[in-house]
Amino acid sequence: MNRIVVTATLFTLLGIAAPAQAIVPDSSSRSGVLLGAYEPAPADTPVVQDAKNFAQSRIPSLTLVEVNVAYTQVVKGLNIKFVSTGVEEGRQVSWKFIVYQDLDGQMSLTLAEKI
């Protein structure tokens, strides 16, 4: 039995409140995926490219060239976290972004950080 399930069961039996966590089995080598965690996403997927284009539109002085690494997180909507290489004032730079896409598809920039 999964350790989190056992712990939650013991807390329940003892009347102790514990934070809820869900484990979903998957077919990979991992024993499960914690819901709500960031998961790797291919950089060329439409949602990641849409997030890159959205971030680009919010910082006109920066030209984003490519997404180096990307992750998505299912929340009440979707967080798309990515690191992108770009050009700013003639120099190559790297930026980290988090773009939130709500359930209606509207995007907002929640993090833009030069790294």
- pLDDT recorded at residue 36: 83
Selection from 41, 97, 93 nearest residue 65 by Cα? 93
Which range is least confidently modeled, 6-10, 68-72, 83-87? 6-10
Q: How many CA atoms lie within 13 A of 17 on its CB side?
A: 1
pTM of the model: 0.70
Tell me the fold of 39-114. Answer: Nuclear Transport Factor 2; Chain: A, (3.10.450)
User: pLDDT confidence of 2, banded at 50, 70, 90?
Assistant: very low
Domain boundaries, the chain: 3-34, 39-114
Residues 85, 66: contact at Cβ < 8 Å? yes
Q: How far apart are CA 99 and CA 115, in angstroms?
A: 17
Q: How far apart are CA 115 and CA 109, in angstroms?
A: 17
Amino acid at residue number 23: I
Q: Report pLDDT digits (tens) over 5-20.
A: 333 433 344 444 444 4
Judge whether residue 52 has pLDDT over 60. yes
Question: What does the block give as tokens for 110?
Answer: 């929640």
Q: Report pLDDT digits (tens) over 18-32.
A: 444 444 444 444 555
Residues 38, 64: contact at Cβ < 8 Å? no
